[in-house]
Amino acid sequence: MNREEAIQFLKENSINNIIKYINIINNKFKREYITYSKNVFIPLCKWCINRCGYCIFREENAKLMKPEEVKEIVLKGEKFGCREALFTFGERVDKNEKIREELKKMGYNNIIEYLYDLEDWVLSNTSLLPHTNCGILEYEELKMLKEVNASMGLMLENASDRLMNTIAHKNSPGKLPKLRIEMIENAGKLKIPFTTGLLIGIGETDEEIVDSLFTIKKIHEKYGHIQEVIIQNFRTKKGIPMENFREPSPLKMLKVIILAKLILEDISIQIPPNLNRETGQLFLLAGVDDWGGVSPLTKDYVNPEAEWPEIEELKRWTEEAGLKLKLRLPVYDKYISREWLSEKVYNKIISLQF
């Protein structure tokens, strides 16, 4: 599918074309399994250099989580059979003076040094594997964190500069597409299995959605490191600047998922099941491959109002669509090799006998 066809598909209201493309997807991509990762969510710090119009995660007076707090969550997660320790926190939290002082007291110069030690502990002492998603990182920071991460992530959200002047991103310098594309490319150069995605419903046009999908495709063609693309729907929340924005309709989401699968092909397409409770099951018909990270223990701190479904519920949704639910690691099977993982992470995965 080329750019023009994709844009036309988003703009037109044609049931016939939706059905046609769903048929093409199901004939071309013979899916047997829908995967998910059982994780614990570790919001290491809720401060952030950005102020996105849809964010409910950011807190002005946030503190850094202590090592004991992190370890407690991870050890509890281990008892629940979790395999992923998801470290998600605000961008450049060490630009905040109070956080810098907290880090200094613990003997760290910056957040990355602290993160590295925590993730190294997770890797060496538990059966969980770290995955980091904390906004823009420099090449050298990515290189350092690759040692202790099974995979890493950064949502592209959208490749359009125009959104930098809108309510969504006007106070978020880290959302400049150029910076995000550069980081995703750097992860590719470093051979880091990577997760990215689009945020749908933040004021983008159909053209901008399509261009963002092709941007991801182009990067993946060069480096081959993008394991999954999340198609995330904007959800409105009380008190955010975008409180009155309309959420994307189920049909819009369906069409974007169809396009994502047709354009990105071998990359896994993920939708968050807690944000799509009523519609997620139908999205399986349109090419979704993965339910993403689901936690039996911790809430989704980015969307705290949206509870995770029980694994049993996820299994039922999946099986009703004629598919099977399968647990995966934070790194997809095809990247489990010395070519893609640090020695430390690779040996850990082998020892897990997953």
Positions that interact with ligand SF4 (CB under 6 A): 48, 50-52, 55, 57-58, 90-91, 135, 172, 174
Judging by DSSP bridges, how do beta strands 33-42 and 290-294 pair with one another? parallel
Type of residue at 165: N
**Is the alpha carbon torsion for 276, 234, 307, 237 positive or negative?**
negative
Q: Which is nearer to ligand SF4, 59 or 266 (CB)?
A: 59
Minimum CB distance to ligand SF4, residue 56 (Å): 8
Minimum CB distance to ligand SF4, residue 171 (Å): 8
Q: Which is nearer to ligand SF4, 24 or 164 (CB)?
A: 164
Minimum CB distance to ligand SF4, residue 133 (Å): 9
Minimum CB distance to ligand SF4, residue 85 (Å): 19
Q: Which is nearer to ligand SF4, 55 or 123 (CB)?
A: 55
Q: Which is nearer to ligand SF4, 172 or 342 (CB)?
A: 172
Q: What is the CA radius of gyration of the chain?
A: 19
Q: Which is nearer to ligand SF4, 292 or 309 (CB)?
A: 292
Measured between alpha carbons, how far is 129 from 222 in angstroms, rounded to an integer?
27
What DSSP state is assigned to residue 82?
A: -
Minimum CB distance to ligand SF4, residue 318 (Å): 29
Minimum CB distance to ligand SF4, residue 58 (Å): 4
Measured between alpha carbons, how far is 78 from 73 in angstroms, rounded to an integer?
9
Q: Which is nearer to ligand SF4, 180 or 220 (CB)?
A: 180
Helices and strands in the chain, H and E counts: 12, 9
Tokens 């082998």: give the residue: 350
Type of residue at 166: T
Pair 114, 103: CB distance under 8 Å: yes
Minimum CB distance to ligand SF4, residue 335 (Å): 25
Minimum CB distance to ligand SF4, residue 31 (Å): 31
Q: Which is nearer to ligand SF4, 58 or 277 (CB)?
A: 58
Minimum CB distance to ligand SF4, residue 197 (Å): 13
Measured between alpha carbons, how far is 335 from 8 in angstroms, rounded to an integer?
35
Measured between alpha carbons, how far is 201 from 212 in angstroms, rounded to an integer?
14
Q: Residue 333 in 3-state DSSP? A: helix
Q: Which is nearer to ligand SF4, 62 or 128 (CB)?
A: 62
**Is the alpha carbon torsion for 256, 304, 175, 45 positive or negative?**
negative
Measured between alpha carbons, how far is 199 from 231 in angstroms, rounded to an integer?
6
Measured between alpha carbons, how far is 17 from 160 in angstroms, rounded to an integer?
27
Q: Which is nearer to ligand SF4, 50 or 205 (CB)?
A: 50
Measured between alpha carbons, how far is 268 from 109 in angstroms, rounded to an integer?
37
Pair 331, 341: CB distance under 8 Å: yes
Pair 199, 232: CB distance under 8 Å: yes
